[in-house]
């Protein structure tokens, strides 16, 4: 029974939140006259002492005391007797644990938000440095149109800003205090739930005591926000893995973010990126685990809910690692501008620019321009050149009205510069957007 029942092995991670909650609860009990001021002072002083012992690593955790709540309360009572036993008046472990998990998730959100912003800042730094560094843009991982390295970095800034927004939404919704819901129906003691809510930084107390102890949708939301963010980091990591292969050679990572092989002396493996990609699985697993625990639970609390914690802790800690590693990699990454320029021009990447030129200059309907361009690509391919390598005569063999002017749109620089619509890849846009982000993140 003890082996399956005890949660102290993992829920001790919430000791700070548990003590914070008990301090607020005790202050309220004294305020409304349920306990005396002397009892409250004894509780406060001894909880501070317990916090110091835990911090110092010499707190005697006891499996037999089941969980963090009982471990702390038992030590408190050992020290101050009756006063310690009065702390749990008008409270149950059900609202206590609901409170602790909320506080823990709220703290985790605050930490992760700062880390997401750090990754965003690192991406913006690269975007500013490489606003005009051309590189291939892909669809289907096939060469599509030239873009810039800076534009590519800013795409991830947008994704991460939405991840940050999702965490903020989650924080806003979870920010209600369950304390005072007690076991499930509230308490007959004249507790002041508004006071404890205020003291703990909540916007208000929860409105329904059953919901307060039975709900963990805030944890599921948090895990979804983490899983989505992990997915974005994983896509980025996948690109780093591809880009650092010698076949691509788009970016270099220093020894700080690569490892060697124990047998192949030439290796530079992008382990950090691979692990960011690989760790996404456990974050997604935590989300599915949480939803699965909740899906069959009748009101109100059930011990199943003790299973909410490990996934949440692991996901948050995994995100901390992955965000730190990603920030490090982004700052470490050295794009190879010459290689990127060469790759950007390959694969007839300015074919769309040619078709657009035919539309603009010859007033050709786009579908016809698409066909003519297709034939010109085939010609260039047969000749073993790129589009700019065709002579004017060869171009005119497909479309007699083509003039010398067409060569002006076939370079990758012209291509990216022309895409100056809002949100487009043009270096001037990238510079403006990067500056905007830098200011917003300052």
Pick the closer one to ligand ARG by CB: 307 or 361: 307
CB-side neighbour CA atoms (13 Å) of 322: 30
Pick the closer one to ligand ARG by CB: 184 or 414: 184
Pick the closer one to ligand ARG by CB: 14 or 54: 14
Q: What is the CA radius of gyration of the chain?
A: 30
91 lies in the binding site for ligand ARG (CB under 6 A): no
Number of residues that bind ligand ARG (CB under 6 A): 10
| Binding region for ligand ARG (CB under 6 A) out of 93-101, 109-117, 128-136, 362-370 | 93-101
Shortest Å distance, C-beta 4 to ligand ARG: 12
Shortest Å distance, C-beta 268 to ligand ARG: 45
Shortest Å distance, C-beta 77 to ligand ARG: 18
| Per-residue tokens: 335 | 């794009």
- Contact between 270 and 280 under an 8 Å Cβ cutoff? The reply is no
Shortest Å distance, C-beta 276 to ligand ARG: 30
Going by C-alpha positions, the residue among 295, 410, 436 that lies closest to residue 357 is: 410
Shortest Å distance, C-beta 302 to ligand ARG: 9
Pick the closer one to ligand ARG by CB: 19 or 97: 97
Q: What angle do helix axes 309-332 and 217-243 make, rounded to 10 degrees? A: 30
| Per-residue tokens: 382 | 């047969």
Sign of CA pseudo-dihedral 193, 194, 198, 201: positive
Shortest Å distance, C-beta 317 to ligand ARG: 18
- Contact between 315 and 322 under an 8 Å Cβ cutoff? The reply is no
Spatial distance between the Cα atoms of 426 and 423, rounded to a whole number of angstroms: 9
7 lies in the binding site for ligand ARG (CB under 6 A): yes
Pick the closer one to ligand ARG by CB: 101 or 122: 101
Going by C-alpha positions, the residue among 315, 317, 389 that lies closest to residue 354 is: 389
Spatial distance between the Cα atoms of 191 and 94, rounded to a whole number of angstroms: 16
What residues from 382 to 401 belong to the interface with ligand ARG (CB under 6 A)?
none
Pick the closer one to ligand ARG by CB: 97 or 120: 97
Phi-psi region of 6 (alpha: psi -120 to 50; beta: other; left: phi over 0): beta
Indicate if 232 belongs to the active site: no
Residues 6+ apart with CB under 8 A from 215: 98
Pick the closer one to ligand ARG by CB: 238 or 307: 307
Shortest Å distance, C-beta 244 to ligand ARG: 43
Going by C-alpha positions, the residue among 98, 112, 100, 96 that lies closest to residue 165 is: 112
The mark string for 176-215 relative to ligand ARG (x by CB under 6 A, - otherwise) is ----------------------------------------
DSSP-assigned letter for residue 269: B
Spatial distance between the Cα atoms of 86 and 195, rounded to a whole number of angstroms: 19
Shortest Å distance, C-beta 84 to ligand ARG: 18
- Contact between 367 and 355 under an 8 Å Cβ cutoff? The reply is no
Shortest Å distance, C-beta 415 to ligand ARG: 58
H helix runs in 57-92, sequence order: 68-80, 82-86
What residues from 37 to 76 belong to the interface with ligand ARG (CB under 6 A)?
67
Pick the closer one to ligand ARG by CB: 140 or 295: 295
| Binding region for ligand ARG (CB under 6 A) out of 15-23, 89-97, 271-279, 382-390 | 89-97
Spatial distance between the Cα atoms of 47 and 21, rounded to a whole number of angstroms: 11
Spatial distance between the Cα atoms of 428 and 151, rounded to a whole number of angstroms: 10
- Contact between 285 and 227 under an 8 Å Cβ cutoff? The reply is no
280 lies in the binding site for ligand ARG (CB under 6 A): no
Catalytic residue among 31, 130, 140, 177: 140
| Binding region for ligand ARG (CB under 6 A) out of 156-164, 237-245, 301-309, 377-385 | 301-309
| Binding region for ligand ARG (CB under 6 A) out of 226-234, 276-284, 302-310, 415-423 | 302-310
Going by C-alpha positions, the residue among 98, 126, 53, 68 that lies closest to residue 328 is: 126
93 lies in the binding site for ligand ARG (CB under 6 A): yes
Pick the closer one to ligand ARG by CB: 13 or 106: 13
97 lies in the binding site for ligand ARG (CB under 6 A): yes
Going by C-alpha positions, the residue among 127, 119, 124, 116 that lies closest to residue 335 is: 127
How buried is 221 (Cβ within 10 angstroms: 0-12 exposed, 13-18 middle, 19+ buried)?
buried
Catalytic residue among 152, 177, 261, 385: 261
- Please report, as ranges, the residues that interact with ligand ARG according to CB under 6 A: 7, 11, 67, 93-94, 97, 301, 303, 305-306
Q: Which residues are part of the catalytic machinery? A: 140, 261
């Amino acid at each position: 029974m003890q082996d399956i029942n005890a949660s102290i092995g993992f829920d001790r991670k919430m000791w700070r939140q548990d003590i914070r909650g008990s301090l607020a609860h005790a202050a309220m009990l004294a305020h409304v006259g349920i306990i005396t001021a002397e009892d409250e002072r004894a509780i406060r002083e001894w909880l501070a002492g317990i916090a110091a012992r835990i911090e110092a690593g010499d707190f005697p955790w006891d499996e037999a005391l089941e969980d963090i709540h009982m471990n702390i309360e038992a030590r408190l009572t050992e020290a101050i007797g009756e006063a310690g036993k009065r702390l749990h008046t008008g409270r149950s472990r059900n609202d206590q644990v609901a409170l602790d998990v909320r506080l823990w998730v709220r703290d985790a959100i605050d930490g992760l938000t700062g880390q997401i912003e750090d990754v965003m800042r690192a991406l913006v730094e690269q975007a500013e440095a490489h606003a005009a560094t051309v590189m291939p843009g892909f669809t289907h991982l096939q060469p599509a149109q030239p873009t810039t390295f800076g534009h590519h970095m800013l795409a991830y800034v947008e994704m991460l800003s939405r991840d940050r927004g999702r965490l903020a939404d989650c924080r806003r919704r979870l920010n209600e205090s369950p304390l005072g819901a007690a076991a499930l129906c509230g308490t007959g003691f004249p507790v002041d739930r508004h006071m404890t809510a205020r003291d703990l930084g909540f916007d208000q107390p929860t409105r329904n005591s059953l919901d307060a102890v039975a709900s963990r949708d805030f944890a599921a939301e948090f895990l979804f926000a983490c899983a989505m963010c992990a997915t974005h980091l994983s896509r980025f990591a996948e690109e780093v893995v591809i880009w650092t292969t010698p076949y691509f050679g788009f970016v270099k990572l220093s020894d700080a973010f690569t490892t060697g092989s124990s047998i192949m002396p030439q290796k530079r493996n992008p382990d950090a990126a691979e692990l960011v990609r690989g760790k996404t699985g456990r974050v997604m697993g935590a989300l599915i685990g949480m939803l699965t625990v909740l899906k069959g639970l009748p009101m109100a609390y059930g011990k199943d809910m003790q299973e909410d914690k490990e996934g949440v802790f692991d996901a948050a800690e995994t995100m901390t690692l992955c965000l730190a590693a990603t920030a490090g990699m982004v700052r470490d990454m050295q794009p190879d501008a010459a290689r990127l320029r060469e790759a950007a021009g390959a694969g007839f990447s300015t074919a769309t620019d040619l078709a657009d030129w035919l539309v603009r200059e010859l007033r050709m309907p786009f579908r016809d321009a698409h066909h003519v361009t297709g034939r010109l690509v085939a010609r260039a391919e047969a000749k073993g050149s790129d589009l700019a390598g065709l002579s004017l005569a060869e171009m005119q063999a497909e479309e007699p009205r083509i003039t010398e002017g067409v060569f002006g749109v076939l370079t990758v620089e012209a291509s990216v510069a022309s895409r100056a619509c809002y949100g487009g890849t043009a270096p001037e846009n990238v510079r403006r957007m990067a500056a905007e982000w830098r200011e917003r993140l300052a």
